[in-house]
Chains A and B, each alone.
Chain A
Amino acid sequence: MHIFKNTDYNFLRWRWHAIVLSWAVILAGAALFMTKGIPLGIEFAGGTAVVVRFDQPTTTEKVRTALDKSMAGGEVIIQPYGDRALNQYLIRVPTVGAESGNSLSSEAARVENALKQGGLGNFTRQAAQIVGPAVGRELRDKALLATVFSLAGLLAYIAFRFQFSFAVGAVVATIHDLLVTLAFLVIFRYDMSLNVIAGILTITGFSTNDTIVIFDRIRENLRSMRRDSLGHVINVSINQTLGRTVITSGTAFLTSLALFFFGGEVLHGFAFTMVVGIATGTYSSVFIAAAIVSFWRGAAPTRAAAHAPATLAAAPQQPTRKSKPQRKARAS
């Protein structure tokens, strides 16, 4: 079986369409972010979350009415938690008992008392999470730093292994993936939780996978197709690797879907991030990364422009046949 056999799509011609599409998604996400913001997970926003399991079936509305009786007002979030048959609900309030101290958990007790008086029957507390306001700030800084360092590390590594223009292409594509993923998270109203951040950081590493595979082929083809334009080499390379790009993403995509559908409540946001991230990672590898390289280097013929790679510079004037065994010797 062989998908995308001997294709000959002109990917670079579509780069403008791709860029417009990407910007449209990113701007839509940004607009929504500006107007409605992004819901922060409890780790970042602070607050109290309680998961309770009721003996009898109930509904979100009933829980809300019960809570409203004794806990007037406030932004109380009530969500079914996990399998519907479990009658489990997550109740989250933005406050904690006190800034600090032992009374941190008093808000959780208040929620429980309110539920007891609400007449919803017996329930048991399954879990509680109480996060003071100081914790979120530190986490936010750390998450941002981790992402920036991770991108810087990728830039340095790809510049070292390929050339600087390739590194720029890969990092721009990765930033693109992060922005598109964030846009989807905003549009689908997922909480910015610790797990989602972990997903975003994972995407940073893995969205370069396909890009590197394509770059690798471009580098290889640059040696054998010295008279062709860079644009042509890029197109040929993307077409040659199209099958594996789609399949490799496909398997990772399959497992992320398995997590999304079966991984349970806690992993939901993470799995969504991975599903979107892997899809956009593939798309950007094909449509964005190499396009950036060609923007960066202009449309000059490869021979003039492609001097930088170390393996090439060692034997710039040698015929192609000779440079191949040399590459193989390095590879084995």
Chain B
Amino acid sequence: MSNLRWKVITVLVVFVVFATVGVYPILAARFRLPAPAWLKAKELKLGLDLQGGVHLVLQVQTDDALKFESEREMERLREALQRQSITVANIKLIDPARFAVEGVPAGKDAEFRNVAAEGGANFDRSSGTNGTYTFTMKLPAQATLREEAVTQGRETIERRVNELGVAEPTIAQQGANNDQILVQLPGETDVDHAKEIIRSTGLLELKLVEQGPASTKEDLAPGGVVPSGMDLVTGAGDTGGGTSHYLVRKVPAVSGVDLKNARPVPDENNRPAVSFTLSPEAGRRFGKFTSENIGRRLAIVLDGRVQSAPNIDGRITTDGRIYGSFTQQEAQDLALILRSGALLTRMDYLEEQTIGPSLGADAIRSGIIASVVGLLSVVAFMLVYYKISGVNAVVALLFNLVILLGLMAYVGAVMTLPGIAGFVLTMGIGVDSNVLIFERIKEELEAQRGVRASINAGFGRVFWTLFDTHIAALISVAFLFQFGSGPIKGFAVTLFFGLMSNLFTSIFVSKTLFDVALVRRHQVATLSI
């Protein structure tokens, strides 16, 4: 008796707890009932397919990171060789992680080795014929660079998405090499805008102009030969319209990483522009640089294109401004991208999906109809087939659903359309356990074992069968979870929790209900089953 009392209390407590976490927040949101904030936060979240929004998958071109590193090492080597006046025929990139130095003079071989050994701990050197040396980046260094590139990309995208003001975005790494970035923006509808902002490189460089502007490239680099340490960049013409070319120093005076802030402001003529603030350290550097170069031009290069090339009128420290023929929106976007930092590697879109809010609403509607029809048909069947005992199964089923909702809300799972399918299936598969138990009880009753003994035997014998069927199902659900992404994961999670809670309700709750029903009747002759 007291054992039974504890069972009843357990069942009730479980019900109240899960109903509070799982069901009440949904009702509260629907009918505007009062709910504390922590409970409101537990409201079951809807996936993109139900809520509408944008789903993007980007591939990080991690080769870029290797290439930058190789180029940096090539540049270092070139300068060091120049200082030691060792002339080589050529230094060229073979692939992102490999470069070659050709034509090292035979007499300077030992000196070259010394120079090469000074830096470049990340590279393995191998010598070939005719003074050719190949430098290959070490594999651990490659792996680290690739990993850093993806992490940097993800963090940059996170900052940008946060600046966009999307509520509850998902940004995660995925893919076989973990080098893809998944971005989900619930409720966002302007895909093109979001895509542009996420993927823009946003690399700002302020470089001293050595020559230019000129109207053709030939004026600055006769025969296409760019002087070493220089870059040839293109941009808008000084007088508006047309393109101009500039010969600028390769190494920027300051760049995007030195930025502290950027914001859109109107310029003197009330046209949109972007003003930026440098960090104090960069400001000191920039102050020294500008005071040394008064009267010369400074190119503001964004993503490899000159935005403008104003004259340096005086010493500038931390504050600057980028002019261009921006629209208000462009100025805002540029400020956002500059604030969130540059992407060091290129990214390409692999996949993109947008779901309009009305399509999501349709999906919710059909999901609810299917759930209700599924529930009603199962309830009708159980009541017709098992009569009063069917009520027991129906109560256990409702318990199952409440616990399932509660578990999902508790772990913060996201409800997707396949998740709703999992919910519906849980009803159909959940009552299986009751059917197994009831059929066994019937069998025991037919063997004239008495009601109470039959019920006990029914539950006792079927336990291991249920255990086995549930484990078998959980095995495949686990692999389903492993396989799936987004909506499918939601489905697997729903099934998983559904199976777990079903084991509890069909055995413990259902048995307790029988015990409660029989407790006051000492001689039970019949059972409605």
Contact = CB atoms under 8 A, between A and B. Distances in A.
Contact of B362 (A82, A143, A241, A251): A82
Interface string B367-411: 101110110011001101111000000000000000000000000
A208 B472 contact: yes
B168 interface: no
A205 B418 contact: no
A176 to B, nearest CB: 16
Contact of A198 (B348, B387, B431, B480): B480
B353 interface: yes
Contacts of B365: 264
B248 to A, nearest CB: 27
B199 A102 contact: yes
B116 to A, nearest CB: 36
Interface stretch (B135-143, B233-241, B286-294, B422-430): B422-430
Contact of B350 (A100, A259, A263, A271): A100
B431 A127 contact: no
Contacts of A253: 428
Contacts, number: 242
A208 B469 contact: yes
A149 B476 CA distance: 8
In this complex, the member of A149, A244, A270, A332 whose beta carbon has the largest number of chain B beta carbons within 10 angstroms is A244
Interface range on chain A (Cβ under 8 Å from partner): 35 or more
Given A125-B356, A255-B425, A270-B418, A157 B176 contact: no
Contacts of B268: none
B353 A129 contact: yes
Contact of A332 (B359, B460, B472, B480): B460
Given A149-B479, A204-B476, A266-B417, A134 B350 contact: yes
A251 B473 contact: no
Q: Specify which of A104, A134, A266 lies most central, judged by the most chain B CB atoms within 10 Å of its CB.
A: A266
A253 to B, nearest CB: 7
A258 B373 contact: yes
Given A138-B175, A212-B468, A213-B465, A131 B351 contact: yes
B378 to A, nearest CB: 5
B159 interface: no
A244 B475 contact: no
A103 B293 CA distance: 42
Per DSSP, chain A at the interface is helix
Interface in B197-238: 199
A185 interface: no
Given A134-B350, A264-B366, A154 B475 contact: yes
A331 B192 contact: no
A231 B359 CA distance: 55
Contact of A258 (B359, B377, B473): B377
Given A127-B356, A205-B475, A251 B366 contact: no
Given A146-B483, A250-B381, A198 B353 contact: no
A198 B484 contact: yes
Interface stretch (B92-100, B107-115, B330-338, B432-440): B432-440
27 contacts: A101-B349, A102-B199, A105-B191, A125-B356, A127-B356, A132-B349, A135-B351, A142-B483, A146-B479, A150-B475, A153-B476, A195-B418, A198-B418, A198-B492, A201-B479, A206-B476, A209-B432, A247-B385, A255-B427, A256-B425, A257-B377, A258-B371, A263-B420, A263-B421, A264-B362, A274-B425, A331-B460
Given A209-B473, A251-B429, A259-B421, 6 more contacts: A127-B359, A131-B350, A153-B479, A205-B473, A254-B428, A255-B424
Interface of B: 49, 57, 59, 175-176, 191-192, 195-196, 199, 348-356, 358-359, 362-363, 365-367, 369-371, 373-374, 377-378, 381-382, 384-387, 417-418, 420-421, 424-425, 427-429, 431-432, 435-436, 439, 442-443, 460-461, 463-465, 468-469, 471-480, 482-484, 487-488, 491-492, 495
